[in-house]
Structure 1
Amino acid sequence: MPETTPGPLPALPVTFRPARTRAVLLTAGTALFAVITLIALLLEQLGPGERISFVFTAALLAGVLFLLARPKVVADEAGVTVVNIMSRRRLEWAQILRVNLRAGDPWVFLDLSDGTSMPALGIQPGIARARAVADARALRALAEDRSAAGPGTAGG
């Protein structure tokens, strides 16, 4: 989207993450673990092995929710680090041709100089759409500013 509102660029380093979604996931994971563990301890008819399996299951479920809360995008002077659920990738500014957040997209997509597109789950409009749009615009402005200063940037 060529529409970029000129404004002050965020100070680097800056971290973009879905704060509300993250808070919900971390709270739910902690509460889920606590409740299932409490149930395992309070049910007198359970043996030690069953109690351990309850706690282990609670830890697995909480772990999944904690992994879902992991995504972030960290921009610094040298480039961008995209942390998704199970992966982390470091990109130089010149590798990012475009930052996209179209209507209906679940998160930002980065068009890269190698012809691929990469999801950046750290900016997602799920619960806080206005925040995600502002973050996407800020990352787009940073990418345009930093890429213009670097060599080998193709227009998109």
Structure 2
Amino acid sequence: MIRPTSRRSAYDPFRPVIGAWVARACAVAAIIVFGLVAIYGPTPLGSDPSLQLVNRVAVAVIGIGMAAFLWRYGMIRALPTKEGLRVVNLVRSHDLSWAQIVRVGFSGGAPWAVLELTDTEELAVMAIQRADGERATKEAGRLAALIEHHSRPAGGVND
């Protein structure tokens, strides 16, 4: 039987806590800082006004790009269902069936959990981050319980 760790459902999404909070706070700070620099930043005396505008727009675009990247980092997650696991990492998303997953763990000094797949590949689950400490260990345990539950033959007890 799957036993959720202080959650209502074993199928609740996996999300980072500390990394997501820091990323979102930095995204907001980037918008504010780069926006203020774009608006109030110094301009060289005697420079072309159209060049000044281009520089200010470039600074704003860099800030928006940085904020978008950081916000995206804050959106990483892993979504378990009865059919499988959708891992949404920073750049790519992966849809896996439970049969494709052998085990989960923190390999070596990896900053996040790693799935070992049946095709001998490994897949990082950035949603379970070592920086979250004990919570990360519990979340990895919950994911391991889901993997174990779905690897049992059909018709077993507690399905």
With the shorter chain as reference, the TM-score category is: 0.7 to 0.9
Aligned residues: 145
1:45 alignment partner in structure 2: 43
Which residue identity lines up with residue 86 of structure 2 in the other structure? T
- The answer to whether the aligner puts 1:146 opposite 2:146 as a matched pair is no
After TM superposition, the structure 1 = structure 2 runs for residues 71-110 of structure 1, keeping only pairs within 5 Å, are 71-102=76-107, 104-110=109-115
Which residue identity lines up with residue 8 of structure 1 in the other structure? R
After TM superposition, the structure 1 = structure 2 runs for residues 4-153 of structure 1, keeping only pairs within 5 Å, are 8-9=3-4, 11-43=9-41, 45=43, 47-102=52-107, 104-126=109-131, 128-149=132-153
SS of aligned partner of 1:114: coil
Q: Distance in 2 between matches of 1:20 and 1:101?
A: 17
Q: Distance in 2 between matches of 1:129 and 1:52?
A: 41
Which has the higher mean CA deviation after the structures are superposed, 66-75 or 114-123?
A: 66-75
Which has the higher mean CA deviation after the structures are superposed, 87-96 or 6-15?
A: 6-15
* Shift of residue 129, structure 1, vs aligned partner: 1.0
Which residue identity lines up with residue 27 of structure 2 in the other structure? G
SS of aligned partner of 1:24: helix
Q: Distance in 1 between matches of 2:92 and 2:142?
A: 23
Which residue identity lines up with residue 29 of structure 1 in the other structure? A
SS of aligned partner of 1:90: strand
Question: Deviations for 1:85-107, whole angstroms, at most 9, x for unmatched residues?
Answer: 10001111111111112463311
Q: Distance in 2 between matches of 1:14 and 1:124?
A: 16
SS of aligned partner of 2:115: strand
Q: Is contact 2:2-2:146 (8 Å) kept?
A: no
Which has the higher mean CA deviation after the structures are superposed, 44-53 or 129-138?
A: 44-53
TM-score by length of 2: 0.81
Q: Is contact 1:12-1:77 (8 Å) kept?
A: no
Q: Distance in 1 between matches of 2:137 and 2:107?
A: 9
Which has the higher Rg, Structure 1 or Structure 2? 2
* Shift of residue 21, structure 1, vs aligned partner: 1.1
Q: Distance in 2 between matches of 1:30 and 1:146?
A: 40
* Shift of residue 45, structure 1, vs aligned partner: 2.8
Q: Distance in 2 between matches of 1:28 and 1:44?
A: 24
* Shift of residue 140, structure 1, vs aligned partner: 0.2
Distance 1:99 1:12, change over 3 A: same
* Shift of residue 64, structure 1, vs aligned partner: 2.3
